[in-house]
Amino acid sequence: MNQLKGWNSPSRSGSSSSSRCGPLGSSSNVSSWSGSSTACDLSRLSCSSPSSSVRCRPLRVALPQLPAGAGLNPAVLPPPAGADSRAARPPPPAAEVALGLVLQFFLLKAFHHRLLSLRGRQLGHHSHQFLPLLAQSWICHASLPGFRHHYPVLTVSPSWLSPGASVTLNCEVKHPSAGWSFYWYKAVPDLSGKSYSYELLPDGSGTAQGSYIIHGQTHTAGYVCRAGRGDPEYHTDHSQPKFVWSADVNSAVSLTVSPDRVQHFLSDSLSLTCEGNFTEWRVMNVLQRNPSYYNNCWQMIGSTCIIHTLVSDTGVYWCESGSGEFSRAVNITVVQNDGDGPILVSPVHPVTEGASVSLSCSLRTQKILSNVFFYHNDKLIQNDPRGELKISAVSKSDEGFYKCQYSGRESAQSWMSVKGEQDQNI
């Protein structure tokens, strides 16, 4: 029979207090902890039967030194020794703590009953010790500074840049009130950790306003914010990175797409290749189905991302170099139909004013079609028996949404961007 051993951590020698960490209701009173650093030691919790399917993992949660009488109030907990107090989290409201304790209790209780149903007799009369033990370990965890995470929400406007446009960042906290200071960062690609490091923006430290304006932005970039308040100041976590995208063709990093079009059929093979004077690359995207989070390409071969398209792959894609550079961004749309529907074949990158461009309509089984209707911003512009819409000298008025119709079936619409000749030098 499995035996759930009784447990209490020994008193620390030299301590002015004989405080111990044990199951709720034991002689150890958590609220009386004081003096030297104390730990909740669950390493002696074990299951004696080697054939048991129950696995006990040691858990040791160290508590910082508490002032006498501090109890479990997170608001008065000092930061750990050697830590920067500015990196700590703001204390949660008492009502939130109480609600969290109640919810956690019921979760632990449900887990306890699940264990009973799985193990039955093997836990025997010792099973009543398990729930208090889990609750004790969670209370130890809950008493640590910043155990509740606060993530501000960053928004950027506009999402797509016009050359030289200003970008406005807005940082929102969960419980807005007076006294918040805001911090603004640029997200710098970190390919070793598949994440980002953060560089403080100019004059981006401790602003009183929850907004920040960037002037003259030309390239794709990522941004992050955080907030703080109190004395000493406690900080929230960093927000999720948010991106502003540019189709600028003069970036030090470029992205090419093959086949060179915006729309793709389901299960197409799509290649996105990063180019530039760099040795390390990754292709990133923000998908339409989950625009709040960024992702990296899971199949990179050298500097090329290979995608076997799904509808969920629809989104914005760009390259990042190991030196922290961003490429221009592109829209990719994966069209789901029964195989008979057309797609619009249109350029994935902006077209320069004065240049020529051709748009066409294509089926999976037939690349060249005739008697196709083309629409610009939902207005019929051409019924061409050749199946192609050709614009010999593109102007800014040609920018907009295009779609095609063949045999009564319409394609999805895609945006065609037009860049002025002067923009090529920005």
pLDDT digits (tens, 9 = 90+) for 305-329: 999 999 999 999 999 998 889 999 9
Q: Report if residue 272 sits inside a domain.
A: yes
Residues 332 and 386 in one domain: yes
Q: Report if residue 160 sits inside a domain.
A: yes
Whether the bond into 232 is cis, omega within 30 of 0: yes
Q: In whole numbers, what is the pLDDT of the chain averaged over residues? A: 74
Whether residue 221 is predicted with pLDDT greater than 50 in this model: the reply is: yes
User: In this structure, are residues 34 and 17 in contact, taking their beta carbons and an 8 Å threshold?
Assistant: yes
* Domains identified in the chain, total number: 3
Token pair of 6 as six digits? 């009784």
Whether residue 182 is predicted with pLDDT greater than 50 in this model: the reply is: yes
Q: Report if residue 12 sits inside a domain.
A: no
pLDDT over 70, % of the chain: 62
Number of CB atoms found within 10 A of residue 103's CB: 10
Nearest to 309 by CA among 333, 345, 289: 333
Residues 127 and 176 in one domain: no
Q: How far is it, in rounded angstroms, from Cα 100 to Cα 368? A: 62
Helix, strand or coil, per DSSP, at residue 86:
helix
Residues 137 and 158 in one domain: no
pLDDT at residue 78 in the model: 42
Segment 343-357 shows an average pLDDT of: 94
Tens digits of residue pLDDT in 390-407: 999 999 999 999 999 988
Confidence band, pLDDT 50/70/90 cuts, at residue 60: very low
Q: Is 305 left (phi over 0), alpha (psi -120 to 50) or beta?
A: beta
Segment 71-96 shows an average pLDDT of: 42
Residues 98 and 161 in one domain: no
pLDDT at residue 14 in the model: 40
Domain boundary among 109, 142, 175: 142
Residues 164 and 230 in one domain: yes
Domain boundary among 142, 163, 197: 142
Q: How far is it, in rounded angstroms, from Cα 285 to Cα 44? A: 47
Q: Report if residue 1 sits inside a domain.
A: no
Whether residue 50 is predicted with pLDDT greater than 50 in this model: the reply is: no
| Phi/psi at 346 (5° precision) | -140, 155
CATH number at residue 166: 2.60.40.10
Q: Report if residue 174 sits inside a domain.
A: yes
Tens digits of residue pLDDT in 259-268: 999 999 998 9
Q: Report if residue 100 sits inside a domain.
A: yes
Residues 62 and 207 in one domain: no
Residues 65 and 165 in one domain: no
Residues 297 and 362 in one domain: yes
pLDDT at residue 418 in the model: 92
Q: Which residue has the higher pLDDT, 399 or 85?
A: 399
pLDDT at residue 200 in the model: 96
Which residues have C-beta within 8 Å of that of residue 298, sequence separation ≥ 6?
none
Nearest to 325 by CA among 416, 246, 384: 246
Lowest-confidence segment of 34-38, 315-319, 362-366 by average pLDDT: 34-38
Residues 266 and 207 in one domain: no
Q: Which domain holds residue 285?
A: 254-425
Q: Which residue has the higher pLDDT, 248 or 40?
A: 248
pLDDT at residue 8 in the model: 37
CA angle 324, 330, 335 (to 5 degrees): 140
Residues 129 and 160 in one domain: no
Angle between helices 94-119 and 130-142 in degrees, nearest 10: 150
Whether residue 295 is predicted with pLDDT greater than 70 in this model: the reply is: yes
pLDDT at residue 43 in the model: 38
For 112, the enclosing helix (H) or strand (E) is helix 94-119
Confidence band, pLDDT 50/70/90 cuts, at residue 178: confident
DSSP E strand boundaries for 146-303: 153-157, 167-172, 181-190, 195-200, 211-214, 221-229, 234-235, 242-244, 254-258, 263-265, 269-275, 281-287, 295-296, 300-301
For 100, the enclosing helix (H) or strand (E) is helix 94-119
pLDDT at residue 102 in the model: 64
Domain boundary among 142, 166, 182: 142
Q: Report if residue 286 sits inside a domain.
A: yes
Residues 216 and 102 in one domain: no
Helix, strand or coil, per DSSP, at residue 422:
helix
Q: Report if residue 43 sits inside a domain.
A: yes
Cα four-point dihedral sign 272, 273, 276, 277? positive
Whether residue 127 is predicted with pLDDT greater than 70 in this model: the reply is: no
Confidence band, pLDDT 50/70/90 cuts, at residue 179: confident
Residues 417 and 301 in one domain: yes
